[in-house]
Amino acid sequence: MKPRIAIFSLTSCEGCSLAILELENELLDLLGAVEIVNFREGMTERSWDIDVGFVDGAVSTPEDEREVTRYRACCKTLVAIGACACLGGVNTLKNRQEMESYRTYVYGERARWFPTTDARPISAVVKVDYELPGCPMNNREFLRLVKCLLAGVPFALPNYAVCVECKKAGNLCLYERGQMCLGPVTRAGCNAICPHYGSKCEACRGLLGAEALAAARLNMREIWKVDEERVLADLRLYGAYQGDGSKP
């Protein structure tokens, strides 16, 4: 029997789910090895007997909590995909505001109809077996993880900085242009797509491991004279919950 795969979405733009559909020919090849049994973006049928479940989106409502708990119970392996699922993502920006304020701003007089909670990565609610960060996630990394699971071989994310990918691509460092960039502290795997096109890295793939992060912070402080408070402020866009998992 083929491994049974499902793709779910919580509070998000669902761009990571769409990134899977964008694989096109590769997805057709993948269907020769697996069976997709639950995927709202791509099919109407539903099954809850699942070997590997992929979840995008943050836990941002009581319903999200119930849903992700259900996914964990039905999936032998659970994978968080995208910055929202792995880090909390842009959804965590609301955590720095008063709940009634943003509810009223979005929903007006009907705000009480829409219960909400602080936004969190799904690992703050249930056990996660793997993470594929990014906004959106790198769908080639998704393919690599699926192939590793099928072959029973280890999978690991890169533990070096986006700067390494920038140098390989021959990009001029944004710091050389006088621009702030989070590439030195951010986990690689995106092929430095933002700096490659002249935009700063905003750490949608999360922070490096502790040792690499410490070295990067030292370089940013001593070579580029970066204000760490500014770094922390920029990191809140995607990663307000990364680190100790507490509310920012």
What is the residue extent of each domain of the chain? 4-151, 162-239
pLDDT classification of 248: cutoffs 50, 70, 90: very low
Choices 2.70.170.10, 3.40.50.700, 1.10.10.10, 1.25.40.10: CATH for 4-151: 3.40.50.700
Segment 44-65 shows an average pLDDT of 95
Residue 24's pLDDT is 85
Segment 129-143 shows an average pLDDT of 96
Residue 75's pLDDT is 98
Helices (H) and strands (E) in the chain, counts: 10, 5
Asked whether the beta carbons of 95 and 117 are under 8 A apart, the reply is no
Residue 245's pLDDT is 39
* Measured distance CA(239)–CA(90) in Å, rounded: 8
Tens-digit pLDDT profile for residues 164-211: 999 999 999 999 998 999 999 999 999 999 999 999 999 999 998 877
Tens-digit pLDDT profile for residues 12-33: 999 999 999 999 889 888 889 9
Strands laid side by side in the 75-81 sheet: 35-39, 4-9, 50-56, 75-81, 130-132
Asked whether the beta carbons of 53 and 46 are under 8 A apart, the reply is no
Of 92, 75, 95, which is closest to residue 12 (Cα–Cα)?
92
pTM for the model stands at: 0.91
Q: Read off the tokens for 188.
A: 């690689």
The mean predicted confidence, pLDDT, of the chain is 91
| End-to-end Cα, the chain, rounded Å | 45
Tens-digit pLDDT profile for residues 230-245: 888 888 899 777 643 3
Residue 247's pLDDT is 39
Residue 242's pLDDT is 62
Residue 77 confidence (pLDDT) above 70: yes
Residue 23's pLDDT is 92
Residue 96's pLDDT is 85
* 21 to 31, 205, 208: CA distances (angstroms): 12, 21, 29
Residue 78's pLDDT is 98
* Measured distance CA(88)–CA(121) in Å, rounded: 4
Residue 59's pLDDT is 97
